[in-house]
């Protein structure tokens, strides 16, 4: 947990790099066809749109919007939504077999 918290704190301080943002955009763009390639996936996206009152085929516009997001925009909102200091974890184990050190 300490390492995850450290990584998130560094991310909050340093922000996203242009390379990281481009990788995220490529991943998002590549994942879109997989999300709607089956009847089940397509039905899930349609249901999501109905639940949240989104327009038909909203995911096509969503993909175009994602491609326009800039590094500056992402770095501006990171401090508003990322709180590493509030990170919590849950460990479920047999305490008769494992001794945990919690910091």
What is the per-residue DSSP string for 12-25?
Answer: HHH---HHHHHHHH
Average pLDDT of the segment spanning 37-42? 92
Kindly report, residue by residue over 40-94, the tens digit of the pLDDT: 999 999 999 999 999 988 888 888 899 999 999 999 999 999 999 998 888 888 8
DSSP string for residues in 50-88? HHTTPPTTHHHHHHHHHHH--HHHHHHHHHHH--GGG--
Q: Name 82's Cβ contacts closer than 8 Å, sequence gap at least 6.
A: 8, 11, 12
Could you tell me which of 19, 21, 44 has the C-alpha nearest to residue 32? 44
Residues 8 and 84 sit within 8 Å (Cβ to Cβ): yes
Separation between Cα atoms, residue 23 and residue 103, nearest integer Å: 34
Query: Which has the higher per-residue pLDDT, 96 or 13?
Result: 13
Q: What residue segments make up the domains of the chain, in order of their start? A: 2-86
């Amino acid at each position: 947990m300490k390492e995850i918290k450290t990584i998130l704190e560094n991310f909050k301080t340093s922000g996203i790099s242009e390379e990281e943002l481009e990788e995220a955009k490529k991943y998002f763009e590549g994942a879109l066809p997989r999300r709607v390639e089956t009847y089940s996936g397509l039905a899930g996206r349609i249901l999501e749109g109905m639940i949240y009152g989104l327009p038909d085929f909203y995911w096509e516009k969503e993909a175009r919007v994602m491609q326009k997001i800039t590094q500056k925009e992402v770095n501006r909102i990171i401090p508003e939504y990322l709180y590493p200091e509030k990170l919590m974890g849950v460990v479920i184990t047999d305490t008769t077999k494992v001794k945990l050190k919690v910091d």
